[in-house]
Amino acid sequence: MTDILNRRNFLTKGALGGAAAVAGASLAAPAIAQELPTLKWRLTSGFPNNLDTIYGGAVVMAEALSKMTEGKFQIQVFQAGELVPGPQAIDAVQSNTVEIAHTCGYYFTGKNPTFAIGSTIPFGLNARQQNAWLYHGGGNELYDEFLSEYGIVGKPGGGTGAQMGGWFRNEIKSVDDLKGIKMRIAGVAGEVMSRLGVVPQQLPGGDIYPALERGTIDAAEWVGPYDDERLGFYQIAPYYYYPAYWEGGLTIHFFINKAQYEALPEAYKVALDTACKAANINMQALYDVKNTAAIRSLVGKGVNLRPMPRDVMDAAYKATFELYAEYSEKHPAWAKIYPAWKKFRDESFEWFRVAEYSYDSYMYAAQASGK
């Protein structure tokens, strides 16, 4: 009987001890959460807030982050020009004027063309290939190594898919028709177009329509049907070309002050990384829905859709890879990333030709024939 009582006593104590341990664990979780600091960061966007999809990527990220951290880690989003002009977003992050920016890397090729390779470069990757390279093909690591020279960390934060080739006042029938055209086009693409006779102009999104209206520029590219319709380009330039060979799969980035990022508790780093991924996927999906409706609307308004002439594409392709060879000689950072990017691109193209291209080609042709 004593042994039985002892066993009962042991079991009772064990049960009580286990319950206490569980209760302790349940009590400890909020206590741990309470130990995390309350943080409020500021984000400067590279875009005006009337472009709800591309600007909205930062809002999606900030709202998700706040909810995941129960409001303890908040990021306030400011549109371009509200705190600093869009072209100064990287400088603001470097100087810690703001902790984070949401913008395109290729806007800063004046500092170094390597800024563009993490976002998109001419005749590069499509949207899926871009995500594959960045997340699992070594792209993020290579890009962050470059960005560390500027005291910055980069997180993919939005995709547009393949963009449109832009709006032109006059029809472009061959590469000769590009000569002397003043065109709003940014980054590496502007350098390529300049070699085809175009006079490139880098303007923020909000300045494009007034420049077209005044005749300061003759053509402009931005993103695609949804944004372009909202900006009203069709009212001035009736010819709409596709595709943008320079933006097969743009990634917009969250550029974060490296010291601020590294000082975050691990739980906040994970939450921030997850919120950035959510914004990246969400933006691409939104554009795919909104562009589908907008292209029909634009055609209904009399817009002239035109494919980019083949000789323009061929001349641009040749000029592009000549330019990349020059970058490899002049810019060590570019030379360090480009070979790995090019290898990934070429091998990815080989795979996508097998299943994806075959499937897409058949399905689009079948649908167009009324099947």
The enclosing H or E element of 3 equals helix 2-35
How far apart are the C-alpha atoms of 42 and 45, rounded to whole Å? 10
Separation of alpha carbons 35 and 338, rounded Å: 43
CA distance 150 to 169: 40
Contact 314, 123 (CB under 8 A): no
Gyration radius (Cα) of the chain, Å = 25
Q: Which residues are annotated as a binding site for Na(+)?
A: 222
243: preceding bond cis by omega (within 30 degrees): yes
Q: Distance between CA 132 and CA 255 in Å, rounded?
A: 19
DSSP bridge partners of 154: 255
Q: Of how many residues is the chain composed?
A: 371
Q: Is 169 exposed, middle or buried (0-12, 13-18, 19+ CB in 10 A)?
A: middle
Task: Locate the DSSP E strands across the chain.
Answer: 39-45, 73-78, 100-103, 152-159, 166-168, 182-184, 199-201, 219-220, 239-242, 251-257, 304-307
- Which residue positions form the known binding site? 163, 184, 221-222, 247
Token code pair at residue 343: 């290898």
DSSP 249: S
Binding site for substrate: which residues?
163, 184, 221, 247
Q: At what angle do helices 332-354 and 139-147 cross, to 10 degrees?
A: 160
Q: Could you give the CA distance from residue 236 to residue 271 in angstroms, rounded to a whole number?
A: 44
